[in-house]
Amino acid sequence: MADGKTDLVVIGGGIMGLWTALYAARAGLEVLLVERTTIGAGASGGLLGALMPHMPDRWNDKKQFQLDALVSLEHEIRAMEAQTGLSAGYRRTGRLIPLAKPHLRAIALRQVGDADINWQSGSGGFPWRVLDAAPDGLFSPDAVAEGAVFDGLAARVSPRGLLRLLTATLATMRGVTIREQCAVRGIDPQRGQVVLSDGSVVHAGHIVLAAGVDSFPMIDGLPKVVGGAPRPASGTGVKGQAARLAVDLDPGLPILYSDGVYVIAHDAGGVAIGSTSEVEYADPLATDQRLDGLLAKAETLVPALAGAPILERWAGLRPRAVGRDPMAGVHPDHPRLHLMTGGFKISFGIAHRLARAVVEGLGGRPTDPEGAMTLPASFRCENHLGAPSRA
């Protein structure tokens, strides 16, 4: 393949890369998105798609950022669905959280006041209701001994459906090229060069690294700035396993969530069960007895799942940045390199807002009449990697 030139190379065809390409194209940039294998081959191509808000108490700028992102995502998705005729399987179903113990009910009741303030629950915002009893027959009686919380902000989306929708939307936009089966072999952020697996070189005004967990070795392998401070290892992968079961649950049902177990009925059929969280693993993409354990836990919580045939077992690696929050924006040493990773467990709800901020950082101007997108300070790369070096 011949060498080329473009405004922006986006590395990675997951949720982070696709939203970045979309915002860049909207800003009028010429974009090349390169994906090592196929769109959604990484963590984004999973089964769950929970869009879960943080708890309404102990409010901070991160929670506000996520709330604004969750609210704006629906509009983004509906606009693309109207344009393409595709469905992302999005629905604001809300979430039911069973309360098994009196102290959990006491906490949930305290959070009613927090939700009133931070979610505007009492004045047209999103409900946070403490129910005396959960809807009949959903949960095992022990799980709901003290009732349940209904949160009306949570939503869900089909991860693969959203990736298809973004890809189809990008296909209608000027200046966007997507190359699958095209790995990046190296980057030279000083010169704005990206070396592809076929040996060709793309010269780019900017590079956005959105390669999920593979972003981290690429960041750690960047040339050090002369006289620059040593940087910490940028992040790691946390394995997750999930499954999809053939069981007849109403897709309008809220997400059922308890103690790390999600039960999510999807529009296209099937119920997703997630997820394990593993910092130690032998094979990052294999499913094993930990998934069996999770399924047993889910059956105990929701008896209707018992004995349901398993349609798919799936595992992936969540990118967790060193600072634990998402890592987005310009690299402290390399003004032409922008990072877009570390979304860990919440990428699907916030990737569009991160993308907007990153793209605004390329051009130095807002992409929206409502003004520039500000990221919480802890998301910025220097808060993960350290301050810019003074070379």
Q: With left for phi above 0 and alpha for psi between -120 and 50, is residue 342 left, alpha or beta?
A: left
**Which of 224, 216, 303 has the alpha carbon at shortest distance from 42?**
216
Contact 335, 192 (CB under 8 A): no
Q: Considering only residues 183, 195, 304, 311, which one is a binding residue for ligand FAD as defined by CB under 6 A?
A: 183
Which of helix, strand or coil describes residue 377? helix
- Between CA 58 and CA 377 the distance in angstroms is 17
User: Judged by CB under 6 A, does residue 330 bind ligand FAD?
Assistant: no
Name which of residues 26 to 45 contact ligand FAD (CB under 6 A): 34-37, 41-44
Q: Does 211 bind ligand FAD (CB under 6 A)?
A: yes
Among residues 316, 323, 329, 361, which is the contact residue for ligand FAD, using CB under 6 A? 316
Residue 192 bridge partners (DSSP)? none
16 near ligand FAD, rule: CB under 6 A: yes
Q: What letter would DSSP give residue 111?
A: H
Residue 299 engages ligand FAD in binding (rule: CB under 6 A): no
Query: Minimum distance between the CB of residue 136 and ligand FAD, rounded to whole angstroms?
Result: 27
Asked if 235 is part of the footprint of ligand FAD (rule: CB under 6 A), the reply reads no
Least Å distance between CB 98 and ligand FAD?
19
- Smallest gap from Cβ 46 to ligand FAD, in A, equals 5
Instruction: Tell the smallest beta-carbon distance from residue 34 to ligand FAD (Å).
Output: 5
Q: Is 56 in the site for ligand FAD (CB under 6 A)?
A: no
- Pairing verdict, β 255-258 and 95-98: parallel
| Chosen residue from 15, 104, 255, 302 binding ligand FAD by CB under 6 A | 15
With binding defined as CB under 6 A, does residue 152 bind ligand FAD? no
In angstroms, the CA 76 to CA 70 distance is: 10
Question: Quick count: other Cβ atoms within 10 Å of Cβ 227?
Answer: 8
254 binds ligand FAD (CB under 6 A): no
CB 244 within 8 A of CB 305: no
User: Counting contacts by CB under 6 A, is residue 11 touching ligand FAD?
Assistant: yes
Which region, judged by CB under 6 A, interacts with ligand FAD, from 107-115, 136-144, 205-213, 285-293? 205-213
Residue 20 is classified by DSSP as: H
User: Which position among 6, 13, 80, 125 is part of the footprint of ligand FAD (CB under 6 A)?
Assistant: 13
- Least distance (Å) from ligand FAD to the CB of residue 244? 11
Q: How far is the CB of 141 from ligand FAD (least distance, A)?
A: 27
Residues of span 336-375 touching ligand FAD by CB under 6 A: 341, 343-349
Q: Is 145 exposed, middle or buried (0-12, 13-18, 19+ CB in 10 A)?
A: middle
> What is d(CA 131, CA 28) in angstroms, rounded to the nearest whole number?
49
Binding to ligand FAD by residue 270, rule CB under 6 A?
A: no
Note whether 69 binds ligand FAD by CB under 6 A: no
The region of 132-140, 209-217, 283-291, 358-366 touching ligand FAD under the rule CB under 6 A is 209-217
Which strand (E) or helix (H) includes residue 57?
A: none
Residue that the structure tokens 């009686």 belong to: 141
Q: Kindly state whether residue 189 participates in binding ligand FAD, applying the rule CB under 6 A.
A: no
- Distance, in Å, from the CA atom of 86 to the CA atom of 51, rounded to the nearest integer, reads 20
Note whether 275 binds ligand FAD by CB under 6 A: yes
**Least Cβ distance, residue 122 to ligand FAD (angstroms):** 28
Interface size with ligand FAD, residues (CB under 6 A): 41
**Distance between CA atoms of residues 96 and 256, nearest Å:** 5
Instruction: Retrieve residue 258's tokens.
Output: 């308890």
Q: What is residue 67's three-state secondary structure? A: helix
Residues in Cβ contact with 386 at an 8 Å cutoff, skipping those fewer than 6 apart: 229, 231, 232, 332
Q: What are the residues binding ligand FAD (CB under 6 A)? A: 11-17, 34-37, 41-44, 46, 48-50, 183-184, 210-212, 214, 240-242, 274-275, 316, 318-319, 341, 343-349
